[in-house]
Amino acid sequence: MPPVNRGLHFDGIGSLPSLKRGARVARKLLLEAHKWIGKEAFDGVIIDVVVEPERMFDIAMELSEK
């Protein structure tokens, strides 16, 4: 759930999304609570990879080691 829906705010809350995907995406995510559809999210907006559920942990570990 986006922080805006919970009334949360803290210093630097937009730093990571801004650095990774740009200010436009950070604004939509943090301030507008935008909900992306699967294809839109995968097309480089907020997710990097889609995997089968049974492979999710292994792929997450591989990505974390990069």
Three-state DSSP at 1 gives coil
What's the confidence (pLDDT) of residue 59? 93
CB 25 within 8 A of CB 2: no
Ramachandran category for residue 12: left, alpha or beta (phi over 0 → left; psi -120 to 50 → alpha): left
pTM of the model: 0.44
Distances (CA, A) of 10 to 7, 17, 30, 39: 10, 14, 12, 30
Residue 58's pLDDT band (cuts 50, 70, 90): very high
| pLDDT at 61 > cutoff 90 | yes
pLDDT, tens digit (0-9, with 9 covering 90-100), for 2-43? 666 666 666 665 565 555 667 777 778 777 777 878 787 877
What's the confidence (pLDDT) of residue 47? 80
Mean pLDDT over residues 41-58, rounded? 84
Domain boundaries of the chain, sorted by first residue: 3-64
